[in-house]
Amino acid sequence: MGSRPHRRYPNKSPQPRMEDTLELCRLLHNRLRQESYEKSGKTLSYTPQANTFPGRKDGQSYASRER
């Protein structure tokens, strides 16, 4: 039994929230890359970045971000 690809296209109501979530992910990724490069001169791979998420969730708000 094979798998079939499935795509969902949101209607207009959840679309702004999805766009905000993607924007937050982009900002977080860029900030982590910048901080890593400033500290060590090189960027981190996914696992070391992901290990910093729990502390960042408690101590920093990404909701008040610049666009």
| Tens-digit pLDDT profile for residues 21-67 | 889 888 888 888 888 888 888 777 878 777 877 777 665 555 444 44
pLDDT, tens digit (0-9, with 9 covering 90-100), for 13-22: 888 888 898 8
CA distances 27 to 7, 8, 11, Å, are 25, 25, 25
Residue 41 lies in a domain: yes
1 — pLDDT class (breaks 50, 70, 90):
low
Residue 61 lies in a domain: no
Residue 9 lies in a domain: no
Residue 66 lies in a domain: no
Structural domain of residue 28, as residue ranges?
15-53
How many domains does one find in the chain?
A: 1
**Sign of CA pseudo-dihedral 46, 29, 40, 35:** negative
